[in-house]
Chains A and B, each alone.
Chain A
Amino acid sequence: MANLTINGKTFTLDVEPDTPLLWAIRENAGLTGTKYGCGIAQCGACTVHLDGVAMRSCGISVGEAEGKKITTIEGLASGNTLHRVQEAWIAQDVPQCGYCQSGMIMAVAALLNEKPKPTDADIDEAITNICRCGTFQQVREAIHTIASA
Chain B
Amino acid sequence: MNKHISPRLNRRAFVIGTAAVGAGLAIGLDLPLGGPAVVRAADGSPEIGAWVVVRPDDTVVIRIARSEMGQGSLTGLAQLVAEELECDWTKVTTEYPTPGQSVARKRVWGDFSTGGSRGIRSSQDYVRKGGATARVMLIQAAADAWKVPASECRAENSVITHTPSGRTTTYGKVAEAAAKLTPPADVKLKDPKDWKLIGKGVNRLDTADKTTGAMVYGIDVKLPGMLNAAIKDCPVFGGKLKSFDEAKIADMKGVKKVVKVGDTAVAVVADTWWHAKTALESLPIVWDEGDNAKVSSESIAKWLAEGLDNSQPAYVGNKNGDAKAAIAGAAKKVEAVYSYPYQNHATMEPMNATALYTADGCEVWCGTQNGEAAFAAVLEASGLPAEKCDVHKVMLGGGFGRRGQTDYVRQAVMIAKQMPGTPIKLLWSREEDMAHGRYHPITQCKMTGAFDANNNLIALHYRLSGQSILFSLRPEALQNGMDPAAFQGVAQSGEAAFGYSVPNLLVEHAMRNPHVPPGFWRGVNVNHNAIYMECFMDELAHAAGQDPLEFRRKLMGNHPKHLAVLNAVAEKIGWTSPAPQGVYRGIAQVMGYGSYVAGAAEISVTDGIKIKVHRIVASTDPGYVVNPAQVERQVAGSFVYGLSALFYGGCTVKDGKIEQTNFDTYNSMRINEMPKVETVMVPSGGFWGGVGEPTIGVAAPAVLNAYFAATGKRIRQVPLRDQNITFA
Contacts and interface: CB of A to CB of B under 8 A. Distances in A.
Interface in B644-703: 644, 662-664, 668-672, 674, 676-677
A93 B629 contact: yes
Contacts of B203: 90-91, 93
A64 interface: no
A131 to B, nearest CB: 7
A93 B204 contact: yes
B707 interface: no
B272 A137 contact: no
Given A23-B272, A130-B663, A125 B429 contact: no
Interface in A28-77: 28, 30-40, 42-43, 45, 72-74, 76-77
B640 A134 contact: yes
Interface centre among A77, A82, A90 (most CB of B within 10 A): A90
B348 A33 contact: no
B202 to A, nearest CB: 9
A114 interface: no
A35 B216 CA distance: 11
Contacts of B639: 134
A23 B396 CA distance: 20
A139 interface: yes
Given A90-B207, A96-B633, A132-B398, A43 B663 contact: yes
B17 A32 contact: yes
Nearest to A85: B211
B71 A99 contact: no
A27 B274 contact: yes
B699 to A, nearest CB: 10
A2 to B, nearest CB: 13
Interface string A91-135: 101111111111001000000000000000001110111111111
A145 interface: no
Contact of B398 (A127, A133, A136): A133
Contacts of A101: 210-211
A101 B206 CA distance: 13
A97 B219 contact: no
A98 B395 contact: yes
Interface centre among A42, A77, A139 (most CB of B within 10 A): A42
Contacts of A42: 662-664
A86 B210 CA distance: 9
Given A97-B70, A98-B210, A98-B395, A136 B671 contact: yes
Contacts of B644: 132
B213 A99 contact: no
B222 interface: yes
A133 B636 CA distance: 9
A97 B641 contact: no
The prevalent SS among residues of A at the interface is loop
Contacts of A94: 207, 211
B349 interface: yes
A72 to B, nearest CB: 7
A19 interface: yes
B49 interface: no
Contact of A140 (B210, B399, B671): B671
Interface residues of A, number: 59
A71 to B, nearest CB: 11
B211 A90 contact: yes
A55 B537 CA distance: 47
B397 interface: yes
Contacts of A20: 274
A43 B429 CA distance: 14
Given A96-B637, A97-B398, A125 B207 contact: no
Interface string B282-314: 000000000000000000000000000000000
Interface string B183-223: 00000000000000000000110111111111111011010
Contact of A28 (B272, B395, B671): B272
B198 to A, nearest CB: 18
B207 A93 contact: yes
Given A27-B272, A27-B273, A74 B429 contact: no
Interface centre among B209, B637, B639 (most CB of A within 10 A): B637
Nearest to B350: A36
Contacts of B429: 39
A138 B640 CA distance: 13
A138 B348 contact: no
A34 B219 CA distance: 11
B70 A130 contact: no
Contacts of A86: 211-212
A136 B640 contact: yes
B638 interface: yes
Contact of B671 (A45, A97, A139): A139
Nearest to B208: A90
B565 to A, nearest CB: 21
A28 B222 CA distance: 12
A85 B219 CA distance: 24
Interface in B496-555: none
Interface centre among A35, A36, A85, A124 (most CB of B within 10 A): A36
Contact of A130 (B220, B348, B672, B676): B348
B72 interface: yes
Given A35-B349, A42-B664, A132-B641, A97 B211 contact: no
A129 B668 CA distance: 10
A74 B212 CA distance: 6
Interface in B601-651: 629, 633, 636-641, 644
Contacts of B253: 16
Contacts of A133: 70, 348, 398, 637, 640-641
B670 A129 contact: yes
B213 A102 contact: yes
Interface centre among B395, B636, B641 (most CB of A within 10 A): B636
A132 B674 contact: no
B636 A33 contact: no
Contacts of A96: 70-72, 633, 637
B272 A125 contact: no
B274 A97 contact: no
Given A36-B350, A100-B348, A132-B346, A95 B663 contact: no
Interface centre among B71, B429, B430, B676 (most CB of A within 10 A): B430
Interface in B390-412: 395-400
Interface centre among A102, A127, A132, A136 (most CB of B within 10 A): A132
A36 B551 CA distance: 49
B219 A35 contact: yes
B347 interface: yes
A134 B636 contact: yes
A109 B430 CA distance: 27
A33 B212 CA distance: 7
Q: List the 4 shortest-distance A-B pairs measured between CB atoms, nearest first.
A: A33-B213, A134-B640, A97-B70, A98-B210
9 contacts: A33-B212, A36-B219, A74-B213, A89-B210, A97-B398, A100-B348, A132-B347, A133-B640, A140-B671
Given A35-B219, A38-B663, A132-B398, 11 more contacts: A20-B274, A27-B273, A33-B213, A89-B207, A97-B69, A97-B70, A99-B349, A101-B210, A129-B671, A132-B668, A133-B637
Interface of B: 17, 69-72, 203-204, 206-217, 219-220, 222, 228, 253, 272-274, 346-350, 395-400, 427, 429-430, 629, 633, 636-641, 644, 662-664, 668-672, 674, 676-677
